[in-house]
């Protein structure tokens, strides 16, 4: 990795700690479960995209470091937080460092 990449990961780790992360068990549909730190937001109003008709409703979102996962989550993968199971519905963010999922 380059010096820039190393510095970026150090900054991201610090930001994750400052955001108030929660421990979760991520289980992909195919593969092994891993314990990671996530940021869980429980009051998200997703914005409808494209020309699809959709109602606005509060949803949950989970963001985590992409490097903590083996790959970008897929629909149907799960995160277990304190006994609550959150199932991935869609990915709304993947900038190569963080990945964000809408979950149900």
Domain boundaries, the chain: 3-103
Distance CA 45, CA 57 (A): 6
4-59 pLDDT per residue, tens: 556 655 665 555 555 567 899 999 999 999 999 999 987 766 665 655 555 566 78
Copy the structure tokens of residue 13.
């780790």
CATH architecture of 3-103: Beta Barrel (2.40)
**Would you state the pLDDT for residue 72?**
96
Q: Which pLDDT score, from 0 to 100, does residue 90 have?
A: 93
Nearest alpha carbon to residue 17 among 38, 43, 48, 42 = 38
To 10 degrees, the CA torsion angle through 10, 39, 75, 80?
A: 110
pLDDT score recorded for residue 4: 56
pLDDT for 67: 92
């Amino acid at each position: 990795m380059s010096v820039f990449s190393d510095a970026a990961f150090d900054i991201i780790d610090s930001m994750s700690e400052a955001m108030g992360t929660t421990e979760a068990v991520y289980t992909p549909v195919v593969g092994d479960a891993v314990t990671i730190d996530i940021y869980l937001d429980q009051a998200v109003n997703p914005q409808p995209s494209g020309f699809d008709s959709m109602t606005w409703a509060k949803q949950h979102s989970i963001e985590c470091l992409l490097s903590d996962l083996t790959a970008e989550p897929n629909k149907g993968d799960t995160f277990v937080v304190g006994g609550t199971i959150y199932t991935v519905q869609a990915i709304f963010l993947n900038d190569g460092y963080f990945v964000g999922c809408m979950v149900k």
